């Protein structure tokens, strides 16, 4: 079927043009003057198209008057200038076909406002609401513009493995992947432990918590790569900014140091913000009006602003000066608490902040040791309201230092043999970061809960749909 999108119809001014539109009824209003009004939405934009359904349609009594929110229809008719206020154009139906009726007694979505909490229980239908349609469109733009940004800079899209069979888990709880019969797990006769040689991969396997280590191997060959895929963390996290399954973008590029890394992160975030402002104005206005007041001003301001960059040491000095306001007292050597990060991004600098060069003890082994031997070339990008959105670093490119750092972390360099090989054979300085995609969607939409910016959120005790 050749159909006109609602988005196209609303922008069209060729009055009299015959069009076919199809979508889902948002609401119907009957007039005794000889017609009904139908608000039609097809997901192509936030706005609805008003359909004028005259009483002389052959199926007016049998179909039109039985339309309720959620019903699916196809309408053929003429695009005309609207006589009423509130919309410039509407479609005067010459035929209306009902694909499927929708029982208002059963259908969870009506005309009135529904809480986001309630909508999570009907996640298969929440995509039909204004809010979730807008989230989906913004999310799509952010994803597409992520590819455009990196492609334009010569980064290759790299598909990191989803299943990782490395014996050495670094940080973060992982989901185990197994084909073993959990009711009857094979055990080693001598040790009594699980015999993973019988498992699918012949060893324990997990879902990835990061594609970084693998991405490094391609960055050290192709120069610049980025991953964009699902990531899994089995942490028992129950917050508005954590998911057990989320999407992460991880650029990794060679011949780069920490400053290059921060530059890339900043350019990338700015590109995304400019893109949604340009491509999703109606959706953003909706979020600005209905979800977070001031969202448009914030995004517009950031589209051109440069981000504040401070060292961890400077950040601690600032925080120590206002230590009274914190539950946890800041001092050099401890990681920044949420309240500290929020103070920096929301109160002190009122915008994005890049904190660089953290103490080595609180950061991962692969981050490059600075000359002071006390800090590593790490960076976190903090956003107002969202908190940490990016974590990155220059990678340790010296084999001896890397092996020492692995041992200091209580692990065995041999378990990272292929990772160490990168330093053994033609090592180069390189850097990268990870961006939590849903956190970015949250920031751009003002949505308060990360569970509402991914279609089907996976959190502890929750994997319906």
Partner RNA sequence: UCCGGCAUAGCUCAGUGGUAGAGUAGGUGGCUGUUAACCACUUGGUCGCUGGUUCGAGCCCAGCUGCCGGAGCCA
Residues 365 to 424 in contact with RNA, rule: CB under 7 A: 387-391
Q: Provide DSSP, 359-377.
A: EGGGS-TTBPBPTTSSEEE
Distance CA 401, CA 220 (A): 18
The single residue among 29, 148, 187, 424 that binds RNA, judged by CB under 7 A, is 29
Q: How many CA atoms lie within 13 A of 145 on its CB side?
A: 23
Q: Smallest Cα–Cα separation from 91: which of 204, 6, 33, 158?
A: 6
At CB < 8 A and 24+ separation, what contacts does 284-289 make? 284/138, 284/444, 284/445, 286/46, 286/130, 286/131, 286/134, 287/134, 287/445, 287/446, 287/447, 288/446
Q: Which of 16, 58, 84, 426 binds RNA (CB under 7 A)?
A: 84
Task: State the nearest-atom distance from the C-beta of 89 to RNA, in Å.
Answer: 10
Q: In this structure, are residues 36 and 53 in contact, taking their beta carbons and an 8 Å threshold?
A: yes
Burial of 11 (0-12, 13-18, 19+ CB in 10 A): exposed
Q: Taking the complex as a whole, how short is the minimal distance between the CB of residue 175 and RNA, in angstroms? A: 12
How many residues at the interface with RNA, by CB under 7 A? 72
Residues 216-235 that bind RNA (CB under 7 A): 233, 235
CB of 38 to RNA, least distance (A): 9
Select the residue interacting with RNA from 13, 56, 115, 373 (CB under 7 A).
115
Tokens found for residue 111: 């005309």
Binding mask 182-211 for RNA (x = CB under 7 A): ----------------------------x-
Residues found in the chain: 465
What is the smallest separation between the CB atom of 358 and RNA, expressed in angstroms? Answer: 11
**Helix (H), strand (E) at residue 22:** strand 18-31
Task: Map residues 297-316 to x or -, x wherever contact with RNA holds by CB under 7 A.
Answer: --------------------
Q: Given candidates 14, 56, 58, 83, which one binds RNA under the rule CB under 7 A?
A: 83
The residue from 52, 174, 316, 444 that contacts RNA (CB under 7 A) is 52
Contacts with RNA in 314-373 (CB under 7 A)?
A: 328, 335, 337-339, 342
Q: Is 451 near RNA (CB under 7 A)?
A: yes
Instruction: Kindly tell me which of 196 and 416 has the beta carbon lying closer to RNA.
Output: 416
Q: Is 255 left (phi over 0), alpha (psi -120 to 50) or beta?
A: left
What is the widest separation between alpha-carbon atoms in the chain?
A: 87
The three-state DSSP-derived secondary structure of 33-52 is CCEEEEEEECCCCCCCEEEE
| 1, 105, 182, 190: which one binds RNA (CB under 7 A) | 105
Q: Find the part of the chain contacting RNA (CB under 7 A) among 27-35, 142-150, 182-190, 420-428.
A: 27-35
Which span sits near RNA by CB under 7 A: 4-12, 31-39, 280-288, 292-300?
31-39
Q: Rounded to whole angstroms, how far apart are CA atoms 311 and 317?
A: 10
Give me the torsion for CA of 29, 32, 35, 37, rounded to 10°.
Answer: -10
Q: Candidates 61, 95, 117, 306: give the one binding RNA (CB under 7 A).
A: 117
Of residues 122 through 181, those in contact with RNA by CB under 7 A are 171-172
By CB under 7 A, what part of segment 239-258 binds RNA?
A: 239-244, 246, 248
Instruction: Please report, as residue ranges, which positions from 430 to 449 form the binding site for RNA (by CB under 7 A).
Output: 434-436, 438-439, 448-449
Task: State which residue, 199 or 436, has the beta carbon closest to RNA.
Answer: 436
Min CB(1)–RNA separation in Å: 25
């Amino acid at each position: 079927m050749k159909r006109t999108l609602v988005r196209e119809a609303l922008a069209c001014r060729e009055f009299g043009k015959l069009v076919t539109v199809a979508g889902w009824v948002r609401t119907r209003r009957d007039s005794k003057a000889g017609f009904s009004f139908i608000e039609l939405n097809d997901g192509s934009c936030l706005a609805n198209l008003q359909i004028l359904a005259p009483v002389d349609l052959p199926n007016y009594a049998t179909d039109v008057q039985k339309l309720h929110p959620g019903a699916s229809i196809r309408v053929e008719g003429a695009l005309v200038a609207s006589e009423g206020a509130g919309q410039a154009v509407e479609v005067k139906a010459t035929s209306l076909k009902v694909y499927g009726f929708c029982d208002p007694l059963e259908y969870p979505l009506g005309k009135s406002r529904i809480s986001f909490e309630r909508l999570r229980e009907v996640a298969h239908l929440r995509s039909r609401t204004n809010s979730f349609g807008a989230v989906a469109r913004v999310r799509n733009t952010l994803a597409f513009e992520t590819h455009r940004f990196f492609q334009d800079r010569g980064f290759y899209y790299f598909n990191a493995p989803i299943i990782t069979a490395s014996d050495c888990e670094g940080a973060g709880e992982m989901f185990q992947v197994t084909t073993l019969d959990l009711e009857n797990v094979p055990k080693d006769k001598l040790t009594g432990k699980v015999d993973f040689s019988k498992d699918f991969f012949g060893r324990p396997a997990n879902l990835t918590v990061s594609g970084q280590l693998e991405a490094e191997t391609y960055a050290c060959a192709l120069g610049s790569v980025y991953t964009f895929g699902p990531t899994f963390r089995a942490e028992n996290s129950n917050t508005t900014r954590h998911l057990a399954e989320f999407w992460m973008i991880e650029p990794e590029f060679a011949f780069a140091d920490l400053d290059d890394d921060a530059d890339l992160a900043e350019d990338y975030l700015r590109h995304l913000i400019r893109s949604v402002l340009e491509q999703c104005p109606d959706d953003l206005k909706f979020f600005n009006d209905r979800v977070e007041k001031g969202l448009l001003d914030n995004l517009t301001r950031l589209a051109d602003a440069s981000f504040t960059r401070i060292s961890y040491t400077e950040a601690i000095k600032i925080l120590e000066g206002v230590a009274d306001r914190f539950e946890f007292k800041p001092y050099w050597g401890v990681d920044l608490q949420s309240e500290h990060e929020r103070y920096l991004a929301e109160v002190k600098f009122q915008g994005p902040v890049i904190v660089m060069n953290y103490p080595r003890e609180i950061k991962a082994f692969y981050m490059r040791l600075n000359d002071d031997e006390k800090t590593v070339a790490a960076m976190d990008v903090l956003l107002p309201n969202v908190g940490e959105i990016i974590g990155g670093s220059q990678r340790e490119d010296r084999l001896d230092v890397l092996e020492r750092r692995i041992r200091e972390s209580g692990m065995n360099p041999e378990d990272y043999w292929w990772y160490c090989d990168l330093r053994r054979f033609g090592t180069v300085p390189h850097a990268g970061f990870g961006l939590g995609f849903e956190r970015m969607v949250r920031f751009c939409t003002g949505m308060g809960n990360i569970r509402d910016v991914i279609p089907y959120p996976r959190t502890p005790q929750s994997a319906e749909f």
